[in-house]
Amino acid sequence: MEKRLSVIGLAVVTGLAGFSSTAMADGDVTTLKDWFAKGDVKGALKSYYFAQDFDGAGKNDSRIWVNGGYLSYSTGTFNGLRLGGEFQASFVGSKDDLDGKTAGSLDAEGAVLSEAYLQYDLNNTRFKGGRQHFASPLVANSGSRLIKESFEMYSLKNSDIPDTEVTAGWVSKYQTRTDKSFYGDNAFVRFETNGTGRPGDFYDVGDDGMWILSVKNSSLGGLDLQAQYADVVDEVRGIYADAKYSFDAAYRPYVAAQYYHTDWDDAALDNNDLVGLKAGVRLPALAGVDLFAGYTTAGGDAGDARVFRGLGQGAYYQYTATTKTAGVGAFEAGTDAYQLGIAYKNAGVSGRLLYTAFDNPAAGADLDEWTLNFQYKFGGQFENLVASVDFSILDYENSANDATDLRTRLIYNF
């Protein structure tokens, strides 16, 4: 850690001393004083209440209310250099959770330094290194709980090619929501084994981290393409690709396709693939209303290795993703999943209603999941205040696993 901080410190000094003012980009500050004085401060105050009810005999319902937020600061840009950091904090207001259903997601007391990065821009290339939030198909943090996930990583992003963005990077650590978080499909992460109920720390990703290479292109009219390769060293390699074509029509129809490929290093695990299709349209007679449908199918048979979806609880880019389960069942071998949805967005109000079915070949493992999402952004004297409600119904083939899930959030951004 000391060696890494020394390297970052040397880069800062070199940047301040070695780059001429002629290389400065528009918006750069011109003095060290302004570098800090003209920085950007932002944050949020959050209050979350989650409730889960379970049908199975001997299962206790769960209730938890947590409060907290984050505060972040980034300097101005001086000779292409910028520094940034973010603190997050969480405090449990009340809890009734005998079975510990929220231990790995919301039940956390304390604070964590989730961002501490150096960013350097030169022409169309950006380097960013340190603790940071990141979102991509195979590496993505989740912000659905009070503590937002983060990564320690180092990346280069270039946009020299018109309408094209290329990113290469190395992810060394993964910060979870709490220190009791554990995800079986990310078992290569060195999760904490004796968590005490604090926000998650930064845990090693395997022995040698995870390499990524991504390309996004929108040079063809109406067609957006992206692909990503990820290699968790000595664990698993994954490929993701998708294509979306939007038709030039008043009701904005689109079609999309996606592909996942998994190559496990463990010879006992079979490699696997997932294919997805999606289509949607905006209803011309109802402003702000969209209809869409998605389908995914994973290869293999019951009991085979699942498809690798990526690192982090935001890495659910499949077309059958949901709120409560995130649609993780779609990655199980031999599973076909279907989703129908309607969405609305207009004048500060947005929402969706989803029906998603997971047809799992294992006995008793099928799931029908209903999802209702609603969000309202206040205006006037309550500007920047956002309220949201998510409600899910889980209807399993094995009715003993049935459950409902309610999530409410109140967030003030400043």
| Token representation of residue 159 | 């946009």
pLDDT in tens, 136-189: 999 999 999 999 999 999 999 999 999 999 999 999 999 999 999 999 999 999
Question: Do the beta carbons of residue 84 and residue 119 sit within 8 Å?
Answer: yes
- Coil vs helix vs strand at 355: strand
pLDDT of residue 342: 98
Distance, C-alpha 125 to centroid of its chain: 24
pLDDT of residue 371: 98
3-state helix vs strand vs coil in the chain, percent to 5: 10, 55, 40
Q: Would you say the pTM of this structure is higher than 0.85?
A: yes
Cα 211 from Cα 296, distance rounded (Å) = 26
Collect the ranges in the chain with pLDDT lower than 70: 1-27, 285
Q: Which domains does the chain have, with CATH numbers?
A: 235-374+390-401 (2.40.160.10)
Cα 361 from Cα 377, distance rounded (Å) = 42
Cα 53 from Cα 63, distance rounded (Å) = 9
Cα 388 from Cα 349, distance rounded (Å) = 10
| Token representation of residue 271 | 């490699």
pLDDT in tens, 48-86: 999 999 998 899 999 999 999 999 999 999 999 999 999
pLDDT in tens, 317-338: 999 999 999 999 999 999 999 9
- Coil vs helix vs strand at 36: helix
The H or E element that residue 278 is part of is: strand 272-282
The single residue listed with the structure tokens 């010879």 is 267
Sign of CA dihedral 336, 400, 94, 381: positive
Closest CA to 342 of 290, 377, 392: 290
Q: Which residues pair with 95 in a beta bridge?
A: 64
Long-range contacts of 189-197 (CB under 8 A, 24+ apart): 189/311, 195/103, 197/103, 197/107, 197/108, 197/109
Cα 187 from Cα 298, distance rounded (Å) = 20
Cα 203 from Cα 192, distance rounded (Å) = 7
